[in-house]
Amino acid sequence: KEKGYKECRATADWLLSNTQVRPTVGIVCGSGMGGLADMLKDPQVIKYSDIPNFPQSTVHGHAGRLVFGTLKGKPCVCMQGRFHLYEGYPVQKTTLPMRIFKLMGVETMILTNAAGGLNQDYKVGDIMIIKDHINMPGFAGINPLKGPNDERFGARFPCMSDAYDRELRQLAHEVASELGYSDFLREGVYVVLGGPSFETIAECRMLHTLGADAVGMSTVHEVIVARHAGMRCFAMSLISNRSVMDYDSQEKANHEEVLETGRLRAEQLQKLVSNMVARLERN
């Protein structure tokens, strides 16, 4: 039942036979950020439920479809809706699309997510470029690369110290500055948890002490698999709420504010991503 190289190859070929687009850029839309896919010109939409070997998406705010098209002339594929550990998938299943994208010819991944701001300088609506991650499920043995390694995808022990491409982060800073977004642009460390429950106060304090600036439930596993396969990665978090750090606070994290913040920043996120894609050199 587990999907290996053969299934990924078959799915990639099936997709390539169902679209004229030959994507070199892959985009993953975070919760409330599905509008990123609406930027693609001449979109060709394929529902996850129609794609052989593809998992199905279950979360409200995630559409569950691939959108192919061009963005500023560059051929792209966009995931509208991603797969999370908390939906009950084994972690290998949540990252399967990365391998399929690789086999379709994608070289650069751009991933977005909604996250809680652990760094108390961060405000709701800030955009954090991810410069590094802490894979908490990894500490508990949950890693998408666990098990036999297929060398056709990548190496047994892939390096992760360069997971978030330095040039792409630099490009994001340049583009954001040109757009006048510097006031709400940050760069920091993202920590992933399994979810679906949000963090306790003690957990937020611990995560912040460990060096994390934002906390969420996605992206890291996808980046590990994408890096394993040799794709370069850029990721950013939209800060949808400030993590509660003290026992007097009455604030509570909830999914509605995640979607609401997505709406608030949709336009800026779209401009940031599209202007970055416009200036990608390879591709």
Catalytic residue list: 31, 62, 84, 86-87, 114, 217-218, 241, 255
Task: Tell me: does residue 229 bind ligand 6GU (CB under 6 A).
Answer: no
Region binding ligand 6GU by CB under 6 A among candidate stretches 108-116, 161-169, 219-227, 274-282: 108-116
- The 3 state secondary structure assigned to 230-261 is CCEEEEEEEEEEECCCCCCCCCCCCHHHHHHH
Task: Tell me: does residue 128 bind ligand 6GU (CB under 6 A).
Answer: no
- The 3 state secondary structure assigned to 168-181 is HHHHHHHHHHHHCC
Indicate which single residue of 108, 243, 268, 274 sits in contact with ligand 6GU (rule: CB under 6 A): 243
Least CB distance to ligand 6GU at residue 138 (A): 16
Task: Tell me: does residue 28 bind ligand 6GU (CB under 6 A).
Answer: no
Neighbours of 156 (CB within 10 A): 10
Region binding ligand 6GU by CB under 6 A among candidate stretches 126-134, 156-164, 211-219, 228-236: 211-219
CA 110 – CA 88 distance, rounded (Å) = 24
Indicate which single residue of 115, 129, 189, 229 sits in contact with ligand 6GU (rule: CB under 6 A): 115
Copy the structure tokens of residue 94: 């949540």
Copy the structure tokens of residue 171: 């490009």
Task: Tell me: does residue 241 bind ligand 6GU (CB under 6 A).
Answer: yes
Region binding ligand 6GU by CB under 6 A among candidate stretches 10-18, 39-47, 59-67, 110-118: 110-118
Least CB distance to ligand 6GU at residue 264 (A): 14
Residues 249 and 241 sit within 8 Å (Cβ to Cβ): no
Task: Tell me: does residue 220 bind ligand 6GU (CB under 6 A).
Answer: no
Residue 216 has, within 13 A of its CA and on its CB side, a CA count of: 28
Q: Which residue has the tokens 């939209």?
A: 238
User: Coil, strand or helix: which one is 132?
Assistant: strand
Task: Tell me: does residue 103 bind ligand 6GU (CB under 6 A).
Answer: no
Neighbours of 138 (CB within 10 A): 19
Provide the binding-site residues for ligand 6GU, judged by CB under 6 A.
Answer: 114-116, 193, 195, 198-199, 215-217, 240-241, 243, 253, 258
